[in-house]
Structures are given as C-alpha cells and as structure tokens.
Amino acid sequence: MTLDGASTNVSRTYALTLALSVTMHLLSSMVAAQTYTVIHDFTGGGDGEAPYTGLTIDAAGNLYGTTVAGGNNGAGVIFKLKRGGSGWQLTPIYTFTGGADGASPQGRVAIAADGTLYGTTAAGGLRRCSGVGCGTVFHLRPSAFAPRSVLTPWSEDVIYAFSGTDGYLPQGDLTFDAAGNIYGTTIGGGAFNMGAVYKLARAGGGWTESVLYSAQDDDNGYEPYGGVVMDPAGNLYGVFQFSRTGLGTAYQLSASGSGWMEQTIHHFDLSGNNGAEPIGGLILDASGNLYGTTLYGGDFLPGGVAYQLTPSSGGWNYQTIYSFLNGDGGPEDKLMMDADGNLYGTAFTAGAFGWGSVFKLTHSVGGWTMTALHDFCASDFPCPDGARPMSNVVMDAHGNLYGTTTLGGAFGNGVVWQITP
C-alpha cells in the first residue's frame, strides 16, 4: 500500500512534531531531575504498602497520607511524616484491622479546623457490598493525654459505615463546608448502584448521611470519582468516569428546594483533542474556573489531558490545556494550583521512560507550557526513585513539592518524594 503526497506530508509532520515534543520533554527532565529526593521507602510492613493517594500538609509542614495495603493487618495505614534533623521520620498513626474500622483507604485525609483528620476507606465497615465491606468514613484524633512516644497511635472513630443504597466504595477527597458538614463520593451503590454523591451532617452526638445524587446509567454520567469541590455559593462540582453515550462528564450539583439538582457541564467523548474518563476530580480557582485531568484522550492517545472549564453566559467553555505523550494512562488525581496560577500534578505512565512523571503547567499569553519536574524510573524497573504515581502534589510554604508513587523504591512498595526548587 502506498500513501499519496498529502498523506505522506501529514505523516512526516506528525512524526517531526512528536519527535520534537519528546526531545524537549527529555531536556526539561534532565534539568529538573537534580531536585528530586525520596524521603521514605515503604517496606510493606508496619509502615504500609502502595500509597494510592497523595498527601495532606498541615500548617507546621507535617505530611499525612494513606496506604491501600500493608500495615500489621494488611489492610492499610494512615501515616505522618515529620521533618527531623536533615531527614524525615514516618510514624504510622493508625493501622486498619480490615473489620468494622475499615480497610484499604483510597482517598487523602482531610484536616479539620481542630487539627483532627477525616477520611474514607474503600472497604471494611459493618456491612458487605459485592462480597467486601461497603466502606467507611472515619475520624482520627491524637491521644487526649501526652503520648508516651511518637509511636503512640491516634484514636479512630467510624462516623459512618455505608450499606449500599447510600453508596459504597468511597474514594477521593472529602470537602467541608463552613458549618463543618462533609461531602464526598462513592463509585458504587446509591439508588441505581452507579455511585453517589453524599453529605454527612452532625446530628446530636453523631452524624447523619444523605444522598444528594444517585448516578444512573444515562448520559449525565456514572461512577463519580475524586470527591467534589464547593464554590462560594455552595454549588458542588465533580466528575463521572463514564456516561452512556460518552466517556465521562463534569457536573454541577446545586441546592434546589429540599433537594439537589444535577447539571452536566461537559461531556467527554474523544472528539478533537478532548479527553476521556476523568477520575482525578476538579479544583476551583478564585475566578470560578475549574481544572481537571483525564486518563485517556488528547492529541497523543492514550496519554490523557489536563483541561480547563470556564463559566460563560450561563454555560461552560472547555479547553484542553495539555495532552500527555506517553503510556497507557494520564493523571489519576487532581491538579494543584500555586499562588501564581501554575498547575502541578502527576501522570501514571507519562514521562520519558514510561513509568510516570511529575509535571508543572505554566500559563502564558500563547497558552500553557509543560515542564517535566521528574520522570520516574530512569534506571528501569524496579525503579529506585519510584514508579506509577497516582497522587496529587502538595506544596509547602517554601515551595517544596511532595507526592507518592504506588510502586518502586528500595522495597518495590512505593515511595514518598520531595522536589526542591
């Protein structure tokens, strides 16, 4: 089979463009790689194994995170990293048993106004769904008395255990409103077993759950990932990984009378350089713009994209701001925005070596420019610097970046990393 002249020119142009993009990516990675440090290698023992999510940072610069497995019972841990001298010390502050207290946390912990932690477990709890525990929402607090050592565990209370019709398999970040109510998502359960957006409100000495929206097999979307984000007016925004006629949606939930109204603000469908299968959740800037990521789609299938949604005349305008080059999947968690409006994140299999990357997106008049801050696994598997990041990125007051990888490191069970500017 032969190509005509026009097709040949298109093929050559695409090849040259792709080669140039890869070359620039490699050059930026070489410059940035010197700033990267592994600050903890997970052993798979008491410290946990496979951190699926990113970190939460407190005002003192301490880091908190979760592992989906490992710990003394194999059901995952909540850990704290505190700087000590020239390094960091990791302390497991809670180890899940896999029973009523929960198992396999797959969302970041959230720090409440009083400094205590809230989070979810994807499994465990009092009831079973699809053969496993339906999942929980938990509250962690330090001992009320002076701890005997830094290894003294925190106390855990399950404030809600899912049963199925109210959702199951909670995943993603939790969000607080000004009154201290908690909002989140489950990718299963609800009225149609397609996932739910829920609210937890204090009631007496406990908490009451209400399902704000039950996803179903329609074009609005189903399987809500990544939690929700709230605007100043109290509207909630999130993403569904799938929809009946497309490959996911972004949605808005608004209080309406005694209930909530769902509005689809974007359909993902692989047309043009559109993305597909958003699972990372959304962030909101001060101007009301939303930013997110997708697993697939973009100019270089199946690399995924970063995108922006801008409110306009009662609707929303979608723009792909970057298409990722390599691998079988793009970012799996939400973006982070700094004070200058730059965006940061990780991509699961992008990067020069195909094992994932940490990236920065900088906005200018001509659009957005990507800088590779670190490409994982330059020395190939087992990747002593880590591999396959699924986390978001957090920044401390000094501009240092932190995140996790699910694999790699000295023991192959993932790492916590730091990038210093």
* Dihedral of alpha carbons 338, 336, 17, 272, sign: negative
How confident is the model at residue 100, as a pLDDT?
97
Higher per-residue pLDDT: 143 or 364: 364
Write the CA distances from 299 to 14, 273, 328, 330, 331, integer angstroms.
11, 5, 14, 12, 15
The pTM assigned to this predicted structure is: 0.90
* CA pair distance 88, 112, nearest whole angstrom: 24
Tell me the DSSP string of 5-54: HHHHHHHHHHHHHHHHHHHHHHHHHHHHGGGEEEEEE--SSTT-B---S-
CA dihedral 297, 344, 195, 105 (to 10 degrees): 130
Assign 3-state DSSP to the chain and report helix, strand, coil percentages, each to 5: 5, 45, 50
Q: What is the mean pLDDT of residues 360-374?
A: 93
pLDDT band at 130 (very low <50, low <70, confident <90, very high): confident
Residue 394 contacts by C-beta under 8 Å, 6 or more apart in sequence? 54, 55, 56, 57, 63, 336, 401, 402, 403
Query: In the structure encoding, which two tokens stand for residue 273, read together?
Result: 């350089």
Instruction: Report the pLDDT averaged over residues 76-83.
Output: 97
pLDDT at 2 over 60: no
- The residues facing 276 across adjacent strands are 296
pLDDT tier at 271, thresholds 50, 70, 90: confident
Average pLDDT over residues 201-223: 96
Q: For residue range 354-364, what is the model confidence (pLDDT) as tens digits? A: 999 999 999 98
The whole-number average pLDDT for the span 337-356 is 95
CA–CA separation, 292 and 248 (whole Å) = 12
Classify residue 421 as exposed, middle or buried by CB count within 10 Å of its CB (0-12, 13-18, 19+). Answer: exposed
Contact 356, 366 (CB under 8 A): no
Neighbours of 52 (CB within 10 A): 25
353-380: average pLDDT: 93
Burial zone of 401 (CB within 10 Å; 0-12 exposed, 13-18 middle, 19+ buried): buried
Give me the residues paired with residue 310 across strands: 317
Phi, psi of 273 (to 5 degrees): -105, 30
Q: Per-domain residue ranges for the chain? A: 28-48+335-421
CB count within 10 Å of CB 257 equals 6
**What's the average model confidence in pLDDT over 113-140?**
95
Q: Please, which pLDDT band fits residue 5 given cuts at 50, 70 and 90?
A: very low
Grade residue 245 by pLDDT with cuts at 50, 70 and 90: confident
Q: What is the reported pLDDT for 239? A: 98
pLDDT interval class at 327 (50, 70, 90)? low
Determine the average pLDDT of the residues in 391-416. 97
299: left (phi over 0), alpha (psi -120 to 50) or beta: alpha
Residue at token pair 């969302």:
107
Please provide the average confidence, as pLDDT, over all residues in the chain. 90
Residue 229: closest CA among 310, 174, 279? 174
Choose among 109, 78, 107: nearest CA to 92.
78
Q: In percent, how much of the chain has pLDDT > 70?
A: 90
CA-closest candidate to residue 329, choices 238, 197, 241: 241
CB 289 within 8 A of CB 306: no
Neighbouring residues of 34: CB distance < 8 A, sequence distance ≥ 6: none
Find the Cα–Cα–Cα–Cα dihedral 341, 347, 353, 359, rounded to 10°: 10
Looking at residue 127, what is its pLDDT? Answer: 93
Contacts of 360 (CB under 8 A, 6+ apart): 342, 343, 344, 370, 371, 373
Per-residue model confidence (pLDDT) at position 6? 35
Q: Which pLDDT tens digit goes with each residue over 157-203?
A: 999 999 999 999 999 999 999 999 999 999 999 999 999 999 999 99
Cβ–Cβ under 8 Å, residues 359 and 345 = yes
Position with higher pLDDT, 20 vs 205: 205
pLDDT tens column, 24-42: 444 444 444 458 999 999 9
How far is 394 from 344, CA to CA, in rounded Å?
Answer: 9
Q: What is the mean pLDDT of residues 353-381?
A: 93
Residue 114, Cβ neighbours under 10 Å: how many?
A: 7
Confidence band for 16, pLDDT divided at 50, 70 and 90: very low
Q: Quote the pLDDT of residue 366.
A: 81
